Amino acid sequence: MTKAITHNKPKSRNMNICFGLNNKYRMKTQLICLTVILIASVVSCKEQGQVDQPKNNPDPVGTQLPGVISPFGKVDTIFTTNAPSRITRKIRKDKDGNLLIAAWDEVILYDGESFSNIPKMEGFESFEAFDALQDSKGNIWIASRQHGLFRYDGKNFMHFTTENGLANNSTMDIHEDKAGNIWIATMGGASYYDGKSFRNFTTKEGLTHDDVSTIMEDNTGKIWLGTRGTVNVYDPLTSTFTEITNNIDRPFTNVWSIIEDEEYNIWIGGEEGLWRYNDGSFTNFTTERVNSVYEDTKGNIWTTSPQGALNRYDKKGLQGENPSPTTIFQSNSMFFRVTEDIEGNMWVGTLKGIFRYDGSSIHYFRDKSE
C-alpha cells in the first residue's frame, strides 16, 4: 500500500483564506468552507480507519499491480496478512491440498482461507526460496538460491550444502520419485538424496549441461532433466543419459518445465516454446518461450510466459489440428509456475506476489502491511 506523505501547515492560514473576505460574502463563505473542512475530515478518518482492514477493491492498471489485460473484466486486489509480496517462482499442493508457496524470503502456506509463514531456520533472515515441496513423509523441502537445501519436519530443520555432498548451493527445483528419494536441480548438476547421502550427476556422468532447472519422473521410472542447455533423460537401470531432440533433430534449450499428463504425453516448456512428445514424435504448439506447463484435473494444459501471459489449451482442442490457447490474462510482469488448488482455482506466481483465477474473475493478493 502506498502511504501518502502529508505536511502540517498552520490552520490559521487556511482560516484566513476562508474568513478574510468582506462582510457581504463572509457568512456564505464561512458556511461553504466549514462544510468542505468537515467533509475532508470525515473522508480522512474513514481512510485511516481502513488501513489495517483486509480489502477487496478493483485495482486500476498501473497502481497496485502490474498492468493487466483480460477478457474477464476487472482484477480485484485482496489485501490480507502474510500474502506473498516478492518474487514467487513455485506453487505446489501439500498432502492436505494446501498451497506451498516459495516466495523468496518466505515459504508461505495457504489453507484456502489465510496465509501463514513457515518458520525460518535460526540464523537465516531469508530462504531465498525457489521451490518448496512436501514429501510423502510430511517433510517440507526448500530449494534456496544461495543457501543450499532445507528440510523442515514441522519442528526442526536440517540444512544441506556442498559440505554435506550437495552438488551446488544454488538449488532450483525439487522432485520426489516413486521410491521416496529426493532429486534436486542445482546450478552445478542434479543431486539425488536417498535419505542418507547424496549422489550427484554432472557432465562427468553424462549430463549435457550442469545448470539444471527442472526434474520429473515419468511413468516408466525414467528421470527427465531440463537444463539451461538441453533436455536429458536418465535411465536408472542402465545409469545412462540420453539427450532429447525434436523432430528435426534439434535439441531443446533453456528448459524450465517438464510434465507428464494423464495420457502419458510428455510436455516440455522452454526457450523453444511448448512441445508435446507422444509415440516417438514431437508436436510444437508455440515458439514463444514458456516458463511453466501444468495439466489441470480436467485435462487442460496451462502455460505461463516471461511476457506475463497465462494461457489455457482446452483438452478437446488439443485433439484437433492446430490448437490455439485461450489467453486468460496478460500482465507486464513475468509469470512463473501455475498450479491448480483443490477447488479448481488456478494460481500464478509472478515477480511480485500471486494471482488467482477462479474461472470467471481474477484476484491479485497483497500483504495488507504494504
Predicted confidence pLDDT, tens digits, the chain (370 residues): 333 333 333 333 333 333 333 444 444 444 444 343 333 433 333 333 332 233 333 333 333 455 788 887 778 999 999 999 899 999 999 999 999 999 999 999 999 999 999 999 999 999 999 999 999 999 999 999 999 999 999 999 999 999 999 999 999 999 999 999 999 999 999 999 999 999 999 999 999 999 999 999 999 999 999 999 999 999 999 999 999 998 888 889 999 999 999 999 999 999 999 999 988 889 999 999 999 999 999 999 999 999 899 999 999 999 878 899 999 999 888 999 999 999 999 999 999 899 999 999 999 999 988 7
- The overall longest dimension of the chain from CA atoms, in Å, is 101
Q: How far is CA 297 from the centre of its chain?
A: 19
Indicate if 36 and 73 belong to the same structural domain.
no
CATH number (domain holding residue 291) = 2.130.10.10
Pair (123, 174) in one structural domain: yes
**SS3 state of residue 247:** coil
The gap from C-alpha 280 to its chain's centroid, in whole angstroms, comes to 32
Which residue range(s) make up the domain with 43?
11-49
Residue 6 lies in a domain: no
pLDDT at residue number 65? 52
Q: 251 with 270: CB under 8 angstroms? A: no
Which three cell numbers mark 277? 512428445
Model pLDDT, residue 319: 83
Q: How many CA atoms lie within 13 A of 364 on its CB side?
A: 25
Contacts of 136 (CB under 8 A, 6+ apart): 95, 176, 180
Instruction: For residue 363, give the C-alpha cell.
Output: 484476484
Instruction: Say if residue 243 is in the same domain as residue 345.
Output: yes
Does residue 4 fall inside a structural domain?
no
Q: pLDDT by residue (tens digit) across 280-310? A: 889 999 999 999 999 999 999 999 999 899 9
How far is residue 207 from each of residues 189, 196, 253, measured CA to CA in Å?
A: 8, 24, 14
Residue 3 lies in a domain: no
pLDDT, position 244: 93
Number of domains in the chain: 2
List the grid coordinates of 156: 526442526
Q: Are residues 298 and 161 in the same domain?
A: yes
The per-residue pLDDT for range 167-199, each reduced to its tens digit, is 999 999 999 999 999 999 999 999 999 999 999
Q: Are residues 133 and 31 in the same domain?
A: no
Q: Does 260 map to a domain? A: yes
Q: Could you tell me if 156 and 23 lie in one domain?
A: no
CA atoms within 13 A on the CB side of 106: 18
**Quick one: 140 and 34 in the same domain?**
no
Q: In this structure, are 15 and 123 located in the same domain? A: no
52: CB partners within 8 A, 6+ apart: 368
Burial of 338 (0-12, 13-18, 19+ CB in 10 A): buried
- Whether residues 256 and 351 share a domain: the answer is yes
Residues 212 and 345 in one domain: yes
Amino acid (one-letter) located at 259: I
Check: CB of residue 104 under 8 Å from CB of residue 86: yes
Q: Is residue 217 part of a domain?
A: yes
On whether both 30 and 172 belong to a single domain, the answer is no
**Residue 158: partners with Cβ closer than 8 Å, 6 or more residues away:** 150, 151
C-alpha grid cell for residue 70? 483480460
Answer yes or no: is 142 within a domain.
yes
2 occurs within a structural domain: no
Same domain, 120 and 194: yes
Predicted pLDDT of residue 195:
96
